[in-house]
Amino acid sequence: MLQPRLDTDLWTAADVAKHLKIHVDTFYAKRRQLEAQGFPPPVPGYPRRLWDPAAIRLHELEQQGLLPKGDDPRSRARRESARAAAGLPRNTDQLLIGRIHALMAESAPR
């Protein structure tokens, strides 16, 4: 498993490309196309482009059909089980929001 180089556990484009087993130039060339297919965009709020590996893994599970669709309780429970089995956080959106708030707190004037 690829280990991100960053203390924030976010991935650079090179990290994402390595995870996808493609060259970084190929990732840059296909990034917009991937995002149009639902690939997670860079995490907002950073001075350079960084991606959340949990969001990327979640997208991969969805693309492979391993996360059930639907909003009924049974489908939601199966999605949560699949996320847990993949080592993903229960709610990726909350993880991203938490990281953004932490970054804002760090950069606030003291």
- The full 3-state SS of 32-62, as one line of letters, equals HHHHHCCCCCCCCCCCCCCECHHHHHHHHHH
Assign 19 a pLDDT band (cuts: 50, 70, 90). very high
Task: Write the DSSP symbol of residue 71.
Answer: S
Measured over all CA atoms, what is the biggest interatomic distance in the chain, rounded to whole angstroms? Answer: 47
Determine the pLDDT at residue 91: 59
Q: Provide the percentage of residues in the chain whose pLDDT is more than 90.
A: 26
Output the pTM of the full model.
0.59
pLDDT at residue 94 above 80? no
Q: Strand pairing partners for 51?
A: 11
What is the structure's pLDDT at 29? 96
Please provide residue 55's backbone torsions phi and psi, each rounded to the nearest 5 degrees: -65, -35
Ordered by start, the domain boundaries in the chain are 13-107
Of 16, 40, 46, 43, nearest in space to 28 by CA: 16
Residue that the structure tokens 């995002």 belong to: 35
Across the range 28-43, mean pLDDT stands at 91
pLDDT in tens, 49-68: 999 888 888 888 778 877 66
